[in-house]
């Protein structure tokens, strides 16, 4: 299908918006009027610019408050429309979006509206133009697509059709089903936006919270499928008003936009049934999302000095050095089934990551049964491929670049507790600590800069087929942190993306000090949290101290066996219980360089969450340590 994007969806001035849309291989754009009014050149120059960039101008928008007025005002509005047709002629576009009147005193009689639109359609037809009528969700009288359709149907003019917008229909929880029965050629244009469900009025919802399909919670797939079922063959065009996107870099945002439409096409293809009419347009058909067969490894970039400290820290939290790469300065650490790669290679992607972000996770690998298909899907969904250098006989692990520039590898599923990539290493697994034998990665927490939550959500959803839970709010002593959990259907793969737009929280500190954040926490699932705590203590692990008062409260709130509570108190183990009685135990270590850390978790009875009620205590304990260190160093 053809893909379009409204210029209002991208940040910056018109020229850079157009350049970004072209670079992301969009076929066309909707010119948002304010972008044109700000442009220091004529509409004709904008037309030439678009032609040079290979972009069609699909539509000019919006034309407001045309309908439902007095005859005198409609006459004025027709004059105003004539002026806009002049502009459109220069722009070289023939379609204008007219949105339903929002004035409180607008008239609503469909016969009157039809009469007024007939005049507009006639004027448009004389000029070779077409009018797409859109019901705004907050229109004062016309709010639903079916109301706009009623008017279009009455007018029966070839120059008047419908503009549909997923936001307007879905935000009102209106049923898009009937759209499938419309004559396809009367749907002049389809605009798409997703959004999270937020408790606010529909106008605020629209102006600030729209996002690309796949980033929100609306059924954009069902909406778009209805338009295609009707026979619509025009562009799918994104119209997004979003506070984050208004400041996001236009280039990367345009790539996200394009990815969202590819993903959407696939979803529509998958939603088709034998009863679905055949389409005249082809839908994107990439390999399916990979089956998650566990984590392969998490790779950290370091220089030799940092690596010595990091290696000692890893040893103190239960990791053993179990491998030495055959041809590179790369070490492999293990704990149970978990693998940490320490990359010291000088001329490498890892080193570049280190120079930019300091000691930090530069790559993650997930295991899957068909790595080639996973890689092909990621590439088809616009992830840049990354090729590393290979020694002779060494394994080539396909990798793509994730939204923050780190790498995502697709590696083979482990067999008999052995990963295939271990063949590149001289291995010695005798040091793997027996007590932690069942350790696996429970989840990974990534700290991301403002505006990067949605891109990550779409990345995980589109590339890996994960689904995103709702935003939750956590309280750091120095401000609010927002966290979104992204999981595979079987919850085998869990990632939490956190962001904070406050200055001094643990998340924003990581983001600003290290130019981008990245992996902040790796949670390791263990079978026996108390035994793990004892083992870690014997290794000299820097366990995070939790305040005594916390345990007095646990005692008041829950029935916890006294010996267990005593052990939790002794080791700083946090506790949560879900309504059904499922339990969660959490043990933290003091972060490495105030940057990333491990959590050890034990789930009992199918606990589904991430221990959010304990976040304030864990974050306060970390803040307290930071302050003590700062005080000690002055």
Does position 102 bind a copy of itself by CB under 8 A? Answer: no
Residue 78 or 291: which CB sits closer to a copy of itself? Answer: 78
- 441 to 470, contacts with a copy of itself by CB under 8 A? 450
Quick one: which of 204, 327, 423, 429 contacts a copy of itself (CB under 8 A)? Answer: 204
Two structure tokens written together for 66: 């045309």
Distance from C-alpha of 64 to C-alpha of 630, rounded to nearest angstrom: 58
Minimum CB separation of residue 271 from a copy of itself in Å reads 32
Minimum CB separation of residue 485 from a copy of itself in Å reads 20
DSSP readout, 466-519? -EEEEEEEEEETTEEEEEEEEE-TTSSSEEEEEE--SSSSHHHHHHHHTTS-EE
Does position 506 bind a copy of itself by CB under 8 A? Answer: no
Residue 107 or 472: which CB sits closer to a copy of itself? Answer: 472
Query: Contacts with a copy of itself: how many residues (CB under 8 A)?
Result: 58
Distance from C-alpha of 290 to C-alpha of 278, rounded to nearest angstrom: 28
- 344 to 403, contacts with a copy of itself by CB under 8 A? none
Distance from C-alpha of 311 to C-alpha of 321, rounded to nearest angstrom: 8
**Parallel, antiparallel or unpaired: strands 597-604 and 518-525:** parallel
Feature table: binding site for a divalent metal cation: 134, 165, 191, 239
Residue 352 or 473: which CB sits closer to a copy of itself? Answer: 473
Minimum CB separation of residue 549 from a copy of itself in Å reads 5
Minimum CB separation of residue 254 from a copy of itself in Å reads 15
User: Which candidate, 338, 306, 341, 231, places its Cα nearest to that of 276?
Assistant: 231
Does position 199 bind a copy of itself by CB under 8 A? Answer: yes
Asked if omega into 350 is within 30° of 0 (cis), the reply is: no
3 state SS of 61: strand
Stretch 11-30: interaction string toward a copy of itself, x if CB under 8 A: xxx-----------------
Distance from C-alpha of 13 to C-alpha of 35, rounded to nearest angstrom: 7
Minimum CB separation of residue 634 from a copy of itself in Å reads 16
Quick one: which of 273, 549, 633, 634 contacts a copy of itself (CB under 8 A)? Answer: 549
Residue 206 or 221: which CB sits closer to a copy of itself? Answer: 206
Whole-number Cα distances in Å, 329 to 264, 353, 570, 634: 42, 15, 40, 37
Whole-number Cα distances in Å, 170 to 150, 176, 239, 265: 19, 8, 14, 18
Residue 39 or 410: which CB sits closer to a copy of itself? Answer: 39
Distance from C-alpha of 190 to C-alpha of 16, rounded to nearest angstrom: 24
Residue 87 or 541: which CB sits closer to a copy of itself? Answer: 87
Q: How far apart are the first and last CA of the chain?
A: 63
Question: 19: which strand partners?
Answer: none
Does position 502 bind a copy of itself by CB under 8 A? Answer: yes
- 48 to 87, contacts with a copy of itself by CB under 8 A? 79-80, 83-84, 87
3 state SS of 399: strand
Quick one: which of 71, 75, 128, 200 contacts a copy of itself (CB under 8 A)? Answer: 200
Residue with tokens 């980033």: 215
Minimum CB separation of residue 155 from a copy of itself in Å reads 23
Does position 38 bind a copy of itself by CB under 8 A? Answer: yes
Quick one: which of 467, 504, 512, 538 contacts a copy of itself (CB under 8 A)? Answer: 504
Region binding a copy of itself by CB under 8 A among candidate stretches 104-112, 173-181, 595-603, 621-629: 621-629
Query: Within 13 Å and on the Cβ side, how many CA atoms surround 311?
Result: 17
| Residue 586 CB-density burial (10 A; 0-12 exposed, 13-18 middle, 19+ buried) | buried
Whole-number Cα distances in Å, 216 to 172, 444, 457: 15, 21, 9
User: Which candidate, 127, 139, 145, 13, places its Cα nearest to that of 68?
Assistant: 139
* Contacts of 548-553 spanning 24+ positions with Cβ under 8 A: 550/574, 550/617
Residue 279 or 550: which CB sits closer to a copy of itself? Answer: 550
What DSSP element (H or E) covers 632? helix 615-632
Region binding a copy of itself by CB under 8 A among candidate stretches 41-49, 225-233, 332-340, 404-412: 41-49
- 231 to 270, contacts with a copy of itself by CB under 8 A? 243, 246-247
Count of C-beta atoms within a 10 Å radius of residue 158: 12
Largest CA distance in the chain: 89
Does position 617 bind a copy of itself by CB under 8 A? Answer: yes
Residue with tokens 């096409």: 265
Distance from C-alpha of 338 to C-alpha of 297, rounded to nearest angstrom: 7
Distance from C-alpha of 382 to C-alpha of 217, rounded to nearest angstrom: 22
Residue 564 or 624: which CB sits closer to a copy of itself? Answer: 624
Does position 478 bind a copy of itself by CB under 8 A? Answer: yes
Residue 35 or 487: which CB sits closer to a copy of itself? Answer: 35
Distance from C-alpha of 455 to C-alpha of 77, rounded to nearest angstrom: 41
Region binding a copy of itself by CB under 8 A among candidate stretches 185-193, 196-204, 211-219, 370-378: 196-204
Region binding a copy of itself by CB under 8 A among candidate stretches 174-182, 421-429, 529-537, 613-621: 613-621
Minimum CB separation of residue 450 from a copy of itself in Å reads 8
Distance from C-alpha of 493 to C-alpha of 517, rounded to nearest angstrom: 21
Minimum CB separation of residue 265 from a copy of itself in Å reads 30
Region binding a copy of itself by CB under 8 A among candidate stretches 18-26, 281-289, 384-392, 551-559: 551-559
Quick one: which of 6, 19, 29, 33 contacts a copy of itself (CB under 8 A)? Answer: 33
Residue 190 or 248: which CB sits closer to a copy of itself? Answer: 248
Feature table: binding site: 134, 165, 191, 239
Count of C-beta atoms within a 10 Å radius of residue 445: 21
Residue 329 or 482: which CB sits closer to a copy of itself? Answer: 482
Counts for the chain of helices (H) and strands (E), in that order: 19, 25
Backbone angles phi, psi at 181, to 5 degrees: -90, -5
Minimum CB separation of residue 472 from a copy of itself in Å reads 12
Quick one: which of 354, 550, 600, 607 contacts a copy of itself (CB under 8 A)? Answer: 550
Stretch 277-306: interaction string toward a copy of itself, x if CB under 8 A: ------------------------------
Where residue 322 falls (left for φ over 0; alpha for ψ -120 to 50; beta otherwise) is: alpha
Quick one: which of 51, 105, 109, 201 contacts a copy of itself (CB under 8 A)? Answer: 201
Residue 231 or 616: which CB sits closer to a copy of itself? Answer: 616
Using CB under 8 A as the criterion, which residues of the chain lie in contact with a copy of itself when the complex forms?
Answer: 11-13, 33-34, 36-43, 79-80, 83-84, 87, 198-201, 204, 207-208, 243, 246-247, 450, 473, 475-480, 501-505, 545, 547-550, 552-553, 555-557, 616-617, 620-621, 623-624, 627
């Amino acid at each position: 299908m053809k893909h379009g994007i409204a210029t209002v969806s991208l940040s910056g001035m018109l020229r850079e918006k157009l350049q970004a849309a072209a670079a992301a291989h969009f076929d066309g754009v909707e010119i948002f009027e304010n972008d044109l009014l700000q442009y220091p050149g004529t509409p004709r120059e904008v037309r030439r610019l678009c032609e040079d960039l290979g972009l069609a101008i699909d539509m000019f928008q919006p034309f407001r408050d045309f309908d439902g007025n007095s005859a005198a005002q409609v006459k004025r509005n027709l004059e105003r429309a004539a002026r806009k047709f002049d502009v459109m002629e220069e722009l070289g576009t023939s379609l204008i979006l007219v949105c339903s009147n929002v004035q409180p005193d607008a008239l609503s009689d469909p016969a009157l509206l039809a009469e007024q639109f007939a005049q507009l359609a006639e004027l448009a037809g004389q000029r070779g133009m077409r009018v797409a009528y859109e019901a705004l969700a907050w229109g004062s009288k016309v709010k639903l697509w079916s109301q706009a359709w009623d008017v279009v149907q009455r007018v029966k003019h070839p120059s008047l059709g419908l503009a549909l917008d997923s936001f307007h229909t879905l935000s009102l929880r209106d049923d898009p089903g009937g759209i499938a029965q419309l004559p396809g050629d009367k749907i002049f244009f389809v605009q798409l936006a997703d959004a999270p469900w937020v408790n606010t009025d529909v106008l605020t919802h629209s102006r600030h919270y729209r996002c690309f399909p796949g980033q929100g919670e609306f059924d954009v797939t069902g909406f778009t499928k209805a338009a295609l079922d009707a026979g619509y063959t025009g562009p799918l065009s994104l119209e997004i008003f979003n506070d984050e996107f208004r400041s996001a870099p236009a280039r990367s945002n345009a790539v996200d936009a394009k990815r969202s439409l590819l993903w959407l096409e696939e979803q529509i293809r998958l939603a088709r049934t034998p009863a679905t009419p055949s389409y005249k347009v082809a839908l994107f058909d990439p390999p399916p999302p990979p089956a998650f067969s566990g984590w392969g490894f998490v790779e950290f970039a370091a220089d030799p000095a940092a690596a010595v400290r990091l290696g000692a820290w890893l040893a103190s939290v239960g990791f053993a050095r179990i491998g030495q790469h055959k041809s590179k300065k790369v070490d492999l650490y293990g704990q149970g089934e978990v693998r940490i790669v320490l990359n010291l290679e000088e001329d490498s992607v890892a080193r570049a990551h280190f120079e930019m972000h300091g000691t930090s996770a530069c790559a993650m690998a997930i295991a899957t049964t068909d790595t080639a298909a996973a890689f092909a899907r990621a590439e088809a969904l616009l992830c840049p491929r990354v090729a590393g250098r290979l020694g002779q006989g060494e394994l080539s692990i396909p990798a793509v670049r994730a939204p923050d520039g780190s790498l995502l590898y697709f590696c083979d599923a482990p067999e008999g507790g052995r990963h295939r990539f271990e063949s590149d290493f001289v291995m010695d697994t005798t040091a793997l600590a027996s007590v932690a034998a069942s350790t696996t990665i429970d989840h990974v927490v990534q700290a991301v800069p403002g505006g990067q939550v949605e891109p990550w959500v779409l990345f995980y959803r589109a590339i890996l087929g994960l689904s995103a839970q709702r935003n939750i709010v956590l309280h750091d002593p120095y401000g609010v942190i927002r966290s979104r959990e992204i999981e595979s259907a079987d919850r085998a793969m869990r990632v939490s993306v956190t962001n904070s737009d406050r200055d001094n929280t643990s998340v924003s500190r990581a983001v600003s000090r290290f130019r981008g954040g990245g992996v902040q926490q790796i949670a390791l699932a263990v079978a026996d949290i108390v035994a793990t705590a004892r083992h870690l203590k014997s290794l000299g692990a820097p366990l995070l101290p939790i305040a005594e008062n916390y345990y007095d409260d646990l005692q008041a709130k829950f029935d916890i066996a006294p010996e267990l509570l005593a052990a939790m108190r002794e080791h700083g183990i946090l506790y949560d219980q879900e309504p059904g009685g499922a339990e969660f135990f959490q043990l933290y270590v003091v972060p490495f360089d105030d940057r990333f850390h491990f959590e050890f978790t034990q789930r009992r009875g199918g606990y589904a969450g991430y221990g959010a009620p304990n976040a304030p205590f864990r974050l306060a304990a970390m803040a307290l340590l930071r302050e003590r260190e700062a005080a000690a160093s002055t």
